[in-house]
């Protein structure tokens, strides 16, 4: 299960979400949650400079040409995509608010399907 954070270095709302995502990662990593950052529309050099000053404890990938976000149809930043164990987007949210956290906890509490046990 994963939380994918679509963000950019210039996005002040994204910056406000970052501490929540860091805490989420720390609190639920042992339960199988993976937080993933996906920087949107920026050069790797700009992202590297930003991450040097503001390191993330989770992996950050780049989508400089908007290929992933175009495929997803998500262009608002920030956007959090909650992806269930089957790879389906279970929720889209602009922030890690109470309903989004509740959905994450619900998905983590659900027993894994037999296929998930075999492939993990």
Q: What is the CATH number of the domain that holds 74?
A: 3.40.30.10
What the block records as the tokens of 107 is 């998905």
Pairing type for strands 34-40 and 2-7 reads parallel
Phi/psi at 112 (5° precision):
-65, 150
Contact 34, 58 (CB under 8 A): yes
Domain that holds residue 90: 2-119
Q: What is the mean pLDDT of the chain?
A: 93
pLDDT tens by residue, 19-76: 999 999 999 999 999 999 999 999 999 999 999 999 999 999 999 999 999 999 888 9
Provide the number of structural domains found in the chain: 1
- Residue 111 has a pLDDT of 84
- Residue 118 has a pLDDT of 53
Could you tell me the pTM of the whole model? Answer: 0.90
What whole-number distance in Å separates Cα of residue 35 and Cα of residue 22? 8
């Amino acid at each position: 299960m994963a939380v994918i954070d679509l963000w950019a270095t210039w996005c002040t709302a994204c910056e406000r979400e970052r501490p929540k995502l860091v805490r989420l990662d720390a609190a639920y990593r042992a339960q199988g949650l993976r937080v993933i950052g996906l920087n949107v529309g920026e050069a790797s050099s700009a992202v590297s400079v930003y991450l040097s000053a503001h390191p993330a404890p989770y992996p950050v990938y780049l989508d400089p040409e908007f290929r992933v976000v175009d495929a997803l149809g998500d262009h608002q930043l920030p956007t959090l995509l909650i992806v269930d164990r089957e790879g389906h987007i279970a929720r889209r949210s602009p922030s890690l608010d109470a309903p989004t956290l509740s959905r994450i906890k619900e998905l983590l509490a659900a027993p894994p399907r037999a296929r998930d046990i075999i492939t993990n």
